Amino acid sequence: MRTPATSRPNSPGSAVDWRIRFGVLSLIWGFSFLFIKVGNDGYAPPYVSFGRMFFGAAVLLVMLLVTRQRLPRGGRTWAHLAVAAFLCNALPFTLFAYAELTISSTLAGICNATTPLWGMVLSLVALSEDRPTRRRFAGLGLGFIGVLIVLGAWQGFSGQDPEGTLMALIASASYAVGWIYVRRTLSDTEDSHLAKSGTQLLLGTAQLAVAAPLFSPLPTSFPVVPLLAVLALGALGTGLAFLMQYALVAEVGPTTATMTTYFIPVIAATAGVSLLGEDLTWNTPVGAVIVLAGAALTQSRGGGPKASRTAAGSKPATAEGVRPGNPRPDTTRPDTTRPGSPRAGATQS
């Protein structure tokens, strides 16, 4: 999606060197999995996701007011954004929250890094301009070998909860589906990324406001620490992170900006082990490195001039699949996520 220059908001912290903002963004998204785990200590997963969406939408709507931008007007755009909100936000956010009831935040962060792998698999079917190359196929195979190593496949996945792990992987796949959906349906609209992402989070908040009470009773108390974790997850990981990612994409380009994808699992693992006391066996970091190497290969476009022309002619993803929330410059991302959650081809919790 291309946004006219006049519609680009001034992102907070734009006077700060981009490398510092890159590091801060990686930290925010990496800590998102810890925030989910802490939020689960006080609230049912659907309400952790609802709070995340609510506080993230609040940040973007305030920014829309400050920059005097309007929400999209077309009914068709709102309909597509409602679908994007479900695929890129409501569903994966909730699945990750449920997953972290039984798996570590470290494992959730690594599962999140598989989004580019799912994206390649799905784009082969859904996006005719995404032609496979040997390098990308090798990356796909390498990435899923890494997943098996993380899960300890040779010992029967012992020590891992299959259901929780499956939910985290489905959440990551949902980000990829959402990104492709956005790319096919919303790439030509004239509304700004900020307007579309704000609307997407607003619609996702409404979806979870209806769905959450159907899956879990309303909270009867509001523990402070879990509430602060949900506030940080939404306002920082889903709201502010989008604004930072959007500014980075505009300043240094999507390729550099979305390198945050490769730092998120490292930060998630470090935070989980050091602050939550989670176990870390040798296969987890080794498998994670292989997953990230595979993901990097699936994003490459080797193959000579023809591949270069294809890459140059293809439309970039927009700024949390930007998964408002994981890690893409698209209305998805992202964190995006994902989150999600602002990311152009990135992955966010």
Residue 44: name the closest of 113, 117, 97 by CA: 97
Surface-to-core class of residue 295, CB atoms within 10 Å of its CB (0-12 exposed, 13-18 middle, 19+ buried): buried
Surface-to-core class of residue 19, CB atoms within 10 Å of its CB (0-12 exposed, 13-18 middle, 19+ buried): exposed
Identify the weakest region by mean pLDDT among 31-35, 145-149, 256-260.
256-260
> What pLDDT sits at residue 262?
78
Q: Where are the beta strands (DSSP E) in 200-320?
A: none
Alpha-carbon span 320 to 115, nearest angstrom: 13
Considering the chain, what is the average pLDDT of its residues?
A: 79
Residue 347: name the closest of 113, 32, 177, 180 by CA: 113
Whether residue 6 is predicted with pLDDT greater than 60 in this model: the reply is: no
Sequence-distant (≥ 6) Cβ neighbours of residue 349 within 8 angstroms: 29, 32, 33, 36, 96, 108, 109, 112, 237, 264, 268, 325, 326, 327, 335, 336, 337, 338, 339, 340, 341
Q: Report phi then psi at 347, rounded to 5.
A: -130, 135
User: Tens digits of per-residue pLDDT, 83-109?
Assistant: 999 999 999 999 999 999 999 999 999
Alpha-carbon span 319 to 341, nearest angstrom: 10
Alpha-carbon span 32 to 338, nearest angstrom: 9
User: Tens digits of per-residue pLDDT, 302-326?
Assistant: 544 444 444 333 333 333 344 444 4
Residue 38: name the closest of 53, 48, 28, 27 by CA: 48
Surface-to-core class of residue 285, CB atoms within 10 Å of its CB (0-12 exposed, 13-18 middle, 19+ buried): middle
- Length of the chain equals 349
Residue 344: name the closest of 324, 308, 320, 317 by CA: 317
Of residues 130 and 63, which shows the higher confidence score? 63
Amino acid identity at 267? I
Pull the structure tokens for residue 232.
């940080």
Residue 41: name the closest of 284, 225, 283, 296 by CA: 225
User: Tens digits of per-residue pLDDT, 133-181?
Assistant: 778 778 878 888 888 887 776 666 566 788 999 999 999 999 989 988 9
User: Tens digits of per-residue pLDDT, 195-243?
Assistant: 998 999 999 999 999 999 999 999 999 999 999 999 999 999 999 988 8
